[in-house]
Structure 1
């Protein structure tokens, strides 16, 4: 089912679109949590720390994949908003071909550099081998992640946020089943968790592709579309590469933060990992709002309705403030019981809880600026502006780098935890100012009848 987001009151349109995304994102986090919970309870806290220590590397690799594929779908959303049906099909085929190229490049690069990367991140010796095993399997199966995100992005580009949810729920259930079988019954340890993730995402990708060809003919390319077009490739890469680099730059900052956390030992890493998983779960609505605004702004930009984009941003910001407050309360209330899910009774929870509390209590204060980043950044990206959102990632990187280096120099875990809030605040200010500039720039171009087409 397609959804035209250029009609109707912005807030109801946004809320109707975002609800399946929130549920889908939560399920995605749940099956990521399933890996860590089952590993922590059935393999041990060191294995949990090993999986957790690769979290920022996964964010780098998977984030780059998500960014590049989301960028490829921006052109699709704009052409859908402009009612260019032939252009939609052409952009889908071109994006798939580009994604095949990036799958090979990203998989090879990540696998070749992984050993060195883990060493640079101060990964503790007692968890190094498990961490290396886990992340190498994820890297080898990167194609499953790339194509699930690509096909889901295409469905969202035409306003369909429900079907990716259906396939994601199925994939989450499959991931948990495979975790239980491979980790508990087959005794594969962290390798079992990695294989479960890759297989479940691969199944989701295949289901999305089948659905597109059967039920969404407007997205299904014909034979004549299957070739790389120079202009379309340039348009998609012009948006996709900055979006991917924005993810990569942000992930580089979180890797620096993880390197600082790693200095405090496997207990600190395990506790931080568990707390981060809980926080990622309750903040999924913020990311869903970003995904929503990318589609909303892309379609309305394609139509040329700039005033409607502004109305949507105001509605989204108001919603995000309410959500951020609720999320802050929830994560504080759920922290202690959630930690119990990750560890067996043999682990001293009293020694784990202070590490987790330090990070969570410091982070919740900055949830409102965190939520605003997704609104501003994804709105600009939906309008085809990639450079300024990418520079927002640079602002995050600089903030994390400065705070992480100070924390490592003085040996302060609290300062290491402050890396995230500092990055969120820096990026929120930068992207907010950038959004005002972009809206002003778009208005000038639309007022100029001689403007070059950006569609």
Structure 2
């Protein structure tokens, strides 16, 4: 069983880059995919359309994050078996992943359809855009089943060291969505955005099946599935799912804090969240790369190399995100205009990025440590780190600071969470992982 990149024997920096660069390109396309809807809605439907999209996509982000979170657990599950050269175990695990994912995503779709209006109302969605937001969410949930299954394919391929699939799949999705958005908006108005998204997601899933049929990196052994494999998937995927939804869940809560400040503030936060995708792009890619690589190293009994990979990731990622952050901070007022928003929204966006600034570098360091802890098979510790990050360190300060500084106080809460979470991440390593603290070998 040979992976495309030899994480165990190849130079760590070179092997890391071979996985990280294609993943970052895939994340760039993911960013583009997420921003396409906002660009078309902002320019064709104005501030009201952007506000409706912002309100509904808070829950969409939770759904997307859940699929990625399950995928991170799946990646660890498969990668450890790939590293241990357990071909039979990979076949069983792949079958379990597909069956469980289909049942789980179907259940999520059904619950979401029934609870959409209640959830958006509870979040304080303005009455002027509630109907549009509910309609968008209900349509989107249909495509979420396809997206969920697609993300599990990407995670399995990534566990083998194949990151090209995710890049190609996202490129196809971006192109389809970008072409369909203006057409569907012209035909069905705001609902057309969701219809275009659903179509693009099913196209992406079809591509996943075609890619699997061509490459045959693994096969599914449905007859050999065991409850032990299901339990293993649950043990890994439940903590990674909670990890992954924390940012999106926190974002949904933060929207309830922003809503009382009016449609302009909500539209500004919608632009902020889209521009933040630029910062999250390299960070998420590096975290996923570290998780998959460390999983293989752990399966092969080379935990020393796992620590080396994480250190290289923090150094490379920290420098990269620093440069990207500086670029976005300097150009944020101009970039906000690309979404068809006025000067007032631009002021809100610029203030956010000037306050948060250095927080994105700290976010990169924290995410690398999170990926390392998850990859070695301790997702529950990474889960606790993320709960502290996005609930204790962000929501609670926002709850207090908004009464003192208004909307700016909410922005300050983001910076506070980045600082405190980074400190906690390094403390967790100091306490629990002596292997990681050993000097890096020249590998």
Q: How far apart, CA to CA, are the structure 2 residues paired with 1:112 and 1:409?
A: 35
Number of equivalences: 434
Report which stretch shifted further, 82-91 or 427-436: 427-436
The answer as to 2:240 corresponding to 1:243 is yes
Residue of 407, 417, 438 corresponding to 1:413 = 407
Structure 2 equivalent of residue 201 of structure 1:
201
Shift of 1:153: 0.7
Cα pair 1:77 1:299 within 8 Å, conserved = yes
The answer as to 2:363 corresponding to 1:370 is yes
Structure 2 equivalent of residue 72 of structure 1:
74
Residue of 344, 351, 355 corresponding to 2:344 = 351
Residue of 314, 318, 326 corresponding to 1:317 = 314
Structure 2 stretches of 5 or more lacking a match? 438-443
Q: How far apart, CA to CA, are the structure 2 residues paired with 1:281 and 1:191?
A: 26
The answer as to 2:372 corresponding to 1:389 is no
Query: What SS does the aligned partner of 1:263 have?
Result: helix
Shift of 1:150: 0.5
1:136/1:429 CA distance change after superposition, 3 Å: farther
Residue of 168, 171, 189 corresponding to 1:169 = 171
Shift of 1:237: 0.8
What TM-score results when the alignment is normalised by the length of structure 1? 0.91
Structure 2 equivalent of residue 27 of structure 1:
29
**Matches for 1:403-442 after TM superposition, within 5 Å:** 403-410=397-404, 412-440=406-434
Structure 2 equivalent of residue 45 of structure 1:
47
1:23/1:305 CA distance change after superposition, 3 Å: same
Q: How far apart, CA to CA, are the structure 2 residues paired with 1:181 and 1:62?
A: 24
Deviations 1:157-179 (A, max 9, x none): 10001122112101110010110
Cα pair 1:4 1:81 within 8 Å, conserved = no
Moved over 4 A (4+): none
Shift of 1:30: 0.7
Cα pair 2:144 2:201 within 8 Å, conserved = no
Q: How far apart, CA to CA, are the structure 1 residues paired with 2:413 and 2:58?
A: 13
Shift of 1:61: 1.8
Q: How far apart, CA to CA, are the structure 2 residues paired with 1:402 and 1:54?
A: 23
Shift of 1:136: 1.8
1:227/1:267 CA distance change after superposition, 3 Å: farther
1:226/1:151 CA distance change after superposition, 3 Å: farther
Residue of 281, 285, 288 corresponding to 2:285 = 288
Structure 2 equivalent of residue 219 of structure 1:
218
1:419/1:53 CA distance change after superposition, 3 Å: farther
1:326/1:442 CA distance change after superposition, 3 Å: closer
**Matches for 1:117-136 after TM superposition, within 5 Å:** 117-136=119-138
1:419/1:189 CA distance change after superposition, 3 Å: farther
Q: CA RMSD in A?
A: 1.9
Q: How far apart, CA to CA, are the structure 2 residues paired with 1:97 and 1:394?
A: 28
Q: How far apart, CA to CA, are the structure 2 residues paired with 1:432 and 1:189?
A: 48
**Matches for 1:88-237 after TM superposition, within 5 Å:** 88-184=90-186, 186=187, 188-215=188-215, 217-221=216-220, 224-226=221-223, 228-237=225-234
Shift of 1:411: 6.5
Cα pair 2:366 2:422 within 8 Å, conserved = yes
Shift of 1:196: 1.5
Query: What SS does the aligned partner of 1:220 have?
Result: coil
Q: How far apart, CA to CA, are the structure 1 residues paired with 2:122 and 2:248?
A: 15
Cα pair 1:250 1:394 within 8 Å, conserved = no
Shift of 1:422: 2.3
Q: How far apart, CA to CA, are the structure 2 residues paired with 1:385 and 1:401?
A: 25
1:275/1:192 CA distance change after superposition, 3 Å: same
